[in-house]
Amino acid sequence: MQNILVMCTGNSCRSQMAHGYLEKLNNGFAQVYSAGIEVHGINSAAIAIMAEDGIDISDHTSNHIDEYLDKDFDFIITVCDHTNENCPYIPSKKAKRLHHNFMDPSKFDGSAEEKHKLYVKVRDEIKEYCQKFILRELH
């Protein structure tokens, strides 16, 4: 079984969405973890938007990367430019590092309807990325 780490700045939104999809869709090929270079707690809008697509991330926790320094990862995926640029050294012998910047919907200031549309857009982009990652890397 392979180990996947997904990271964003606060491990509250984008990395949690990717964690949820990778965990649900990988068919037992991998153990999925998520962390941040900071800890912001789980974003309630991310929980709600994932639930709309049948993915329950309500029991996830926001974790700091230091919690996983002794874990050997096969893949480390950063989902925001800030983390990609500021990610500390992670001592993993074989990790393949991947990066894709997703917009942070939690930073958007607009109406409730506009925010919902943006969360759906980002969620769907993350889902597509995760599906392609699984096909490309885990099969």
Could you list the active site residues? 8, 80, 87
The tokens 């994932």 sit on which residue?
50
